[in-house]
């Protein structure tokens, strides 16, 4: 039976660190669904539609990747998609503490769903969507941090 993983996040915007976790996850799972989430307390720079569009462009040519929007409880979405795993990337110890809490809560809600963590490569351990947005807003070059089309979209948003 094929193993499907859900890779949830806001992806506002997608970074090369996100893509690294995805590519490495594809070596483990038969299919990965990138679940672009909405969180009521998070203010995003890009709309859900824009984030999905950028992810589709960034993953063009990758086999067995789907990209969808989701809202609500992650565990409900995972079950609806027939997946068995939530895939999460980790950069630092601080990520682990945060992600561990969510993984344990998800296990409490449904212990048939596992969470798998993939450590980002060292070259991406500092990288976050928030840091990228901050740097882009001040006109910094984003070489190696995000796909070129994401950098272009950021420059358009910030008019820099």
What mean pLDDT is predicted for residues 1-19?
A: 94
For residue 146, is pLDDT > 90?
A: yes
Would you give the distance in Å from CA 134 to the centre of its chain? 18
Rounded percentage of the chain residues whose pLDDT exceeds 70: 99
Domains contained in the chain, CATH given = 4-122 (3.40.50.620)
Beta-carbon contacts of 59 under 8 Å, excluding residues fewer than 6 positions away, are 19, 22, 34, 65, 67
What mean pLDDT is predicted for residues 122-145?
A: 95
The pLDDT of residue 2: 74
What mean pLDDT is predicted for residues 120-141?
A: 95
Query: How far is it, in rounded angstroms, from Cα 128 to Cα 70?
Result: 21
The pLDDT of residue 69: 97
Model pTM score: 0.95
Q: 48: part of which helix (H) or strand (E)?
A: helix 48-58
For residue 90, is pLDDT > 70?
A: yes
The pLDDT of residue 1: 65
User: pLDDT tens digits for 24-78?
Assistant: 999 999 999 999 998 777 899 999 999 999 999 999 999 999 999 999 999 999 9
What is the pLDDT confidence band of residue 94, given thresholds at 50, 70 and 90?
A: confident
For residue 8, is pLDDT > 70?
A: yes
How would DSSP label each residue in 52-94? HHHHHHHTTT-TTEEEEEE-S-HHHHHHHTT--EEEEEE-SHH
Residue ranges with strand state E in the chain: 4-9, 31-37, 65-70, 85-90, 114-119
Rounded percentage of the chain residues whose pLDDT exceeds 90: 91
């Amino acid at each position: 039976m094929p193993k499907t993983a859900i890779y949830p996040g806001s992806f506002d915007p997608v970074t090369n660190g996100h893509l690294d976790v995805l590519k490495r996850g594809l070596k483990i799972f038969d299919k990965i669904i990138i679940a672009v989430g909405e969180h009521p307390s998070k203010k995003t720079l890009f709309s859900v539609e824009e984030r999905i569009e950028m992810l589709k462009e960034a993953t063009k040519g990758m086999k067995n990747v789907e990209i969808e929007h989701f809202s609500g409880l992650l565990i409900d979405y995972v079950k609806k998609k027939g997946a068995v795993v939530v895939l999460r990337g980790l950069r630092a110890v601080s990520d682990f503490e945060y992600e561990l809490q969510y993984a344990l809560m998800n296990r409490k809600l449904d212990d048939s769903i596992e969470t798998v963590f993939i450590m980002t490569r060292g070259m991406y351990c500092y990288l976050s969507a928030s840091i990228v947005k901050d740097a882009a807003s001040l006109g910094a070059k984003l070489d190696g941090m995000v796909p070129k089309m994401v950098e272009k979209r950021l420059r358009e948003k910030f008019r820099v």
